[in-house]
């Protein structure tokens, strides 16, 4: 069974400091990994998808299959980055045409002015 | 293009009451999902629908039922609400892989 672990419930950093939100996964197949962001009392929004290899709002994430990690990084934190961040792993349900997302429990990022 | 919409936004129920949460998407996605979000627990899948006419249980289905009315709509029903069902409920839809979320329904059961 797949599992996603985000070891930090809360991460506080000062504005302008680097940010790294950790995500580790376990999955027997070839993983597809995502980062979602949820601003206060809003819907989850897709931030990054590993196959896209893009940078959104200054965030990047690299899939490390050896360490089974997909950490989210940003060189200089901004106050507007304060939010809840969820790492998720996509896998296909066996026998069905639907893709399951398994979420980590989330990390709340607080950027201190 | 509204994406994924949910109604109502807020609801307060008494224990034992029933209600249906509505979800609709206009992106022509085959798959739709219902999650609940609780503090410290992340998102947990309640039910999903791979395509019109099919539904399957997720991680926490007890106390819930669903209906995939057509390709656009996927409803979640609480037949006899319990305080443990106090949560924020999110609907999502997906072509494959990436899921797109609705704004959520904040439900309180007294």
Contacts of A87 (CB under 8 A, 6+ apart): A4, A6, A21, A23, A25, A33, A34, A35, A36, A70, A72, A103, A104
pLDDT for the residue A95 = 53
Q: Do the beta carbons of residue B50 and residue B95 sit within 8 Å? A: no
Using CB atoms, which residue from A45, A96, A99 is nearest to B56?
A96
Nearest CB neighbour to A86, from listed B30, B43, B94: B43
Reported as a single tens digit per residue, the pLDDT across A49-69 is 887 777 789 999 989 989 999
Quick: pLDDT tens for B57-109: 999 999 999 999 899 999 999 999 999 999 999 999 998 778 999 999 999 99
Residues of A in contact with B103 (CB under 8 A): 42-43
Put simply, the answer to whether A43 touches B101 (Cβ < 8 Å) is yes
- Which residues is A12 bridged to in the sheet? A110
Distance (Å) from the alpha carbon of B10 to chain A's nearest alpha carbon: 12
DSSP-derived letter for residue A104 is: P
The owner of tokens 């709509």 is B73
Cβ–Cβ gap B50/A98 under 8 Å? yes
Rg (chain B; Cα; Å): 13
Q: What is the percent of chain A where pLDDT is above 70?
A: 94
Give the DSSP letter of residue A81.
G
User: DSSP character for A46?
Assistant: E
Token digits of residue B12: 């307060």
- Closest CB from A9, A49, A98 relative to B31: A98
* B13-42 average pLDDT score: 94
pLDDT in tens, chain A (113 residues): 789 999 999 999 999 999 999 999 998 888 889 999 999 989 999 999 887 777 789 999 989 989 999 999 999 999 999 999 999 998 776 555 677 889 999 999 999 99
- Give chain A's largest Cα–Cα span: 50
């Amino acid at each position: 069974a797949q599992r996603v672990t985000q070891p930090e419930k809360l991460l506080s950093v000062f504005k302008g400091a680097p940010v790294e939100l950790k995500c580790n996964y376990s999955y027997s197949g070839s993983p597809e990994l995502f980062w979602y962001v949820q601003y206060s009392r809003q819907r989850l929004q897709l931030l990054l998808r590993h196959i896209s290899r893009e940078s959104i709002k200054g965030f990047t994430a690299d899939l490390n299959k050896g360490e089974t990690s997909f950490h989210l990084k940003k060189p200089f934190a901004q106050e507007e980055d304060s939010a809840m961040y969820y790492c998720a792993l996509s896998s296909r349900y066996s026998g069905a045409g639907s893709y399951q997302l398994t979420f980590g429990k989330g990390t709340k990022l607080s950027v201190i002015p | 293009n509204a994406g994924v919409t949910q109604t109502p936004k807020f609801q307060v129920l008494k224990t034992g009451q029933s209600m249906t949460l509505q979800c609709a998407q206009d992106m022509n996605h085959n798959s739709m999902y219902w999650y609940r979000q609780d503090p410290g627990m992340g998102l947990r899948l309640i039910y999903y629908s791979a395509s019109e006419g099919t539904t399957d249980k997720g991680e926490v289905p007890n106390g819930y039922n669903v209906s995939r009315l057509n390709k656009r709509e996927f409803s979640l029903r609480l037949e006899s609400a319990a305080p443990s069902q106090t949560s924020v409920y999110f609907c999502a839809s997906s072509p494959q892989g990436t899921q797109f979320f609705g704004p959520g329904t904040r439900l309180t059961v007294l």
